[in-house]
């Protein structure tokens, strides 16, 4: 038996870092954002549907989608936000399931982890065996977002406000990794969880 887990948490909480630690221990990690970019490559069905929804003005010169322009539109248009999510979220899960099956063909007891910022909001948490939420306190999160993206305190704060609150995400979690200490502590916590999950996957 294999195991498919979803890894999520607030912006800057440490999802990528945790995902990389899982990878170094031997888990397979699928990046939902990378899959999303793959699904909207020029010519693909989702790319066409998104153009139909937003018009040609959201295309860059090289025919790829201008993610910044789309983000600007959906920020003030909840209907369009819903519509683009309906195009993307089911397809992302479908592709993740496909990649999961491909991994299982080679490694039947694999532990596969999906790194997905919107795992819960997209409802895709329903399609995984376990949900892992990376949590840290708001002050730490704010500093990490500012440092990683070179955002001002106000910008970082505004982005945090736009997201589903951490307490809400934690309600969906089978496991919470607290990432308030240093990286060596985080590594120990990820290792402990890795061994727990590995046992479920055999
Ligand atoms: P995003 O939502 O932007 O994708 P994320 O949740 O994937 O962020 P990371 O990129 O893993 O978060 O972490 C955010 C920043 O905080 C990174 O610069 C990372 O190196 C740093 N970081 C994460 N965990 C720790 C830690 N325990 N100690 C110190 N720095 C950390």
Alpha-carbon distance of 190 to 115, in angstroms, equals: 14
Number of separate domains in the chain: 1
pLDDT in tens, 126-156: 999 999 999 999 999 999 999 998 999 999 9
Q: Is residue 57 part of a domain?
A: no
Q: Is residue 54 part of a domain?
A: no
Q: Is residue 147 part of a domain?
A: yes
What's the token pair of residue 112?
Answer: 């596969």
Q: Which atom of ligand 1 is nearest to the CA of 147?
A: 18
pLDDT at 140: 94
Q: Is residue 63 part of a domain?
A: no
Give distance in angstroms: CA of 40 to centre of ligand 1.
26
pLDDT in tens, 43-71: 999 999 999 999 999 999 999 999 999 99
pTM, two decimal places: 0.94
Q: What's the domain range around 124?
A: 3-36+92-201
Alpha-carbon distance of 147 to 144, in angstroms, equals: 5
Q: Is residue 62 part of a domain?
A: no
Q: Is residue 67 part of a domain?
A: no
Nearest CA to ligand 1 atom 11: 14
Q: Assign residue 105 the CATH number of its domain.
A: 3.40.50.300
Give distance in angstroms: CA of 79 to centre of ligand 1.
32
Q: Is residue 148 part of a domain?
A: yes
């Amino acid at each position: 038996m294999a195991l498919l887990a979803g890894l999520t948490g607030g912006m800057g909480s440490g999802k990528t870092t945790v995902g990389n630690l899982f990878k170094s221990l031997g888990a397979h990690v699928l990046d939902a954002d990378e899959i999303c970019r793959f699904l909207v490559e020029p010519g693909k069905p989702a790319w066409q549907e998104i153009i139909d929804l937003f018009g040609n003005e959201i295309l860059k010169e090289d025919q790829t989608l201008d993610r910044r322009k789309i983000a600007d539109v959906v920020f003030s248009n909840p209907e369009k936000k819903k519509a683009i999510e309906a195009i993307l979220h089911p397809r992302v899960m479908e592709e993740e399931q496909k990649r999961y099956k491909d991994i299982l063909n080679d490694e039947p007891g694999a532990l596969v982890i999906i790194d997905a910022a919107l795992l819960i909001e997209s409802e895709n948490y329903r399609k995984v065996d376990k949900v892992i939420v990376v949590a840290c306190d708001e002050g730490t999160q704010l500093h990490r977002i500012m440092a990683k993206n070179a955002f001002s305190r106000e910008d970082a704060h505004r982005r945090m406000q736009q997201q589903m609150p951490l307490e809400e995400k934690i309600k969906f979690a089978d496991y919470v990794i607290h990432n308030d200490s240093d990286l060596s502590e985080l590594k120990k916590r990820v290792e402990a969880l890795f061994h727990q999950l590995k046992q479920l996957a055999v």
